[in-house]
Homo-oligomer: A and B are copies of this chain.
Amino acid sequence: MFSQTVEYALRAIVLLAGDPDQPRTSEQIAKVTQVPHAYLSKVMKGLCDAGLVRSQRGIHGGFTILKRAHELTILEVVNAVEPIRRIRTCPLGISTHGMRLCPLHRRLDDALASVEKAFGDTTLAEVLADPNPSIPLCEFPPIRELTPGTTPPAAT
C-alpha cells in the first residue's frame, strides 16, 4: 500500500534527521538506506523540491535536512514524494453524488484519513526517540560511524 518511493524517502530522511548538521553524500545515503543510486536520486529530488532537504555541491557538500526532527512529520515526508490523495468528490463523476461520497468511497476516504492523521501526528523526533531496541536503519546504534573521526558507541 505504501510505495517503494515512500519507503525510500522515509529511510533517507531518518538518516539525515539523526544527525541534522552533518551533510551526507548520495553514496553514504545509498549505502545506509540500501536504496539503489538511480532511485535515490529521484527520491532526494522530491525531498529537495518539497523544501525538506537541501543539496550542496563541493568537497564538504551533500544533503542536509532543513527542518528539525521535532518539526517534521512522517506525513510531510510522504506527501513530499507521493501525496496521500484523499477522495473529495465522487471518482465516477456522478453528479448527484458530488462531494457527498457514496458509502464505498466514504469508507475508502475514512481509511486514507486515518493514515493521514497517524502520520501527521508522528514527528521524526518521536520515531528517533522511540525506546525501541531496534534503531532505524542500523544494525547497532550508530549512524555516526559514517562521519570520519567519530567512533560508534558500543552496541548495548
| Residues of A that sit less than 8 Å from B by CB | 1-2, 7, 10-11, 14, 33-34, 74, 84-85, 90-97, 100-108, 110-112, 114-115, 118-119, 122, 126-128, 130, 132-140
The copy count of this chain in the complex is 2
Given contacts A107-B118, A119-B111, contact A91 B7 (CB under 8 A): yes
Contact between B94 and A139, CB atoms less than 8 A apart = yes
Contact between B107 and A111, CB atoms less than 8 A apart = no
Q: List 24 A-B contacts (CB under 8 A).
A: A1-B112, A1-B115, A7-B91, A14-B104, A74-B107, A90-B134, A92-B137, A96-B139, A96-B140, A100-B132, A100-B133, A100-B134, A102-B135, A102-B136, A103-B126, A103-B127, A103-B130, A103-B134, A104-B127, A105-B136, A110-B118, A111-B114, A114-B115, A115-B115
